[in-house]
């Protein structure tokens, strides 16, 4: 009887470690092809950025909306592709991507993203507007006007006209270095005129005082 108990204890001692070694380790889900191209990456300013998808230069307006998870866009499939998607080159590696989502009579409203081909990232840019304006549309995600690289070469200019004649509105200048970092960007200078009937055009608009800029 004693020998039988000894054998049973010995067998149990061998079986328990074997079972413990067979416990399954939880398997982490693999990334799918859909999510692999949208990993978060940290830019130099700490702004959350996405990894550029493959063939990003050839993506259509609608495809960019999917990549950037823009769910609401009134201009999708409206007008021409050239009107809905525009590029503004800042330097050899960096461009601004403008995705139009609201069409206007002479000015459209668009989302702004900085695209860094060297770092392979795309990040949102939120341009702060002059204080006497209502702010950008739809919670600060859309900017209405015309965005271009300034003649000086070190600024990005945003021109917003309150009338097609160009006799009223405002013009804001942003540092290219600030814009390239993405995130919230405040203007360095702003010029404006709210009188649409005095004949003063963009070139002669008075400079807005510092307190007139957020």
Distances in whole angstroms, Cα of residue 85 to Cα of each of 43, 88, 90:
24, 10, 16
Q: Per residue in 147-206, pLDDT tens?
A: 999 987 799 999 999 888 889 999 999 999 999 999 999 999 999 999 999 989 998 999
**What pLDDT score was predicted for residue 208?**
87
Q: pLDDT tens-digit profile of 33-90? A: 222 233 333 333 335 899 999 999 999 999 999 999 999 999 998 989 999 999 999 9
Q: Give backbone dihedrals phi and psi of 52, rounded to 5 degrees, phi first.
A: -60, 135
pLDDT at 131: 62
For the purposes of burial, counting CB atoms within 10 Å of the CB of 96, is it exposed (0-12), middle (13-18) or buried (19 or more)?
Answer: buried
Is the whole model's pTM more than 0.85, yes or no? no
- What's the pLDDT score for residue 166? 86
Q: Average pLDDT of 79-104?
A: 95
Q: Taking the CA atoms of 47, 133, 164 and 138 in sequence, report the sign of the dihedral they define.
A: positive
């Amino acid at each position: 009887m004693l020998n039988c108990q000894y054998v049973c204890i010995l067998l149990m001692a061998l079986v328990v470690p074997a079972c413990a070694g067979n416990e399954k380790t939880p398997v982490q889900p693999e990334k799918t092809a859909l999510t692999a191209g949208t990993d978060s990456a940290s830019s130099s300013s700490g702004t959350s950025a996405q990894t550029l998808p493959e063939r990003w230069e050839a993506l259509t307006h609608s495809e960019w909306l999917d990549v950037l998870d823009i769910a609401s866009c009134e201009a999708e499939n409206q007008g021409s592709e050239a009107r809905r998607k525009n590029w503004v080159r800042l330097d050899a590696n960096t461009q601004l991507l403008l995705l139009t989502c609201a069409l206007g009579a002479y000015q459209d409203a668009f989302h702004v993203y900085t695209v860094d081909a060297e770092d392979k990232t795309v990040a949102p840019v939120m341009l702060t507007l002059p204080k006497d304006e209502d702010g950008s549309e739809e919670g600060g995600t859309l900017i209405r006007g015309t965005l271009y690289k300034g003649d000086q070469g070190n600024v990005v200019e945003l021109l917003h006209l309150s009338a097609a004649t160009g006799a009223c509105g405002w013009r804001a200048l942003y540092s290219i270095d600030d814009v390239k970092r993405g995130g919230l960007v405040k203007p360095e200078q702003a010029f404006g005129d709210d009188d649409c009937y005095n004949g003063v055009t963009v070139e002669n608009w008075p400079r807005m005082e510092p307190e007139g800029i957020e």
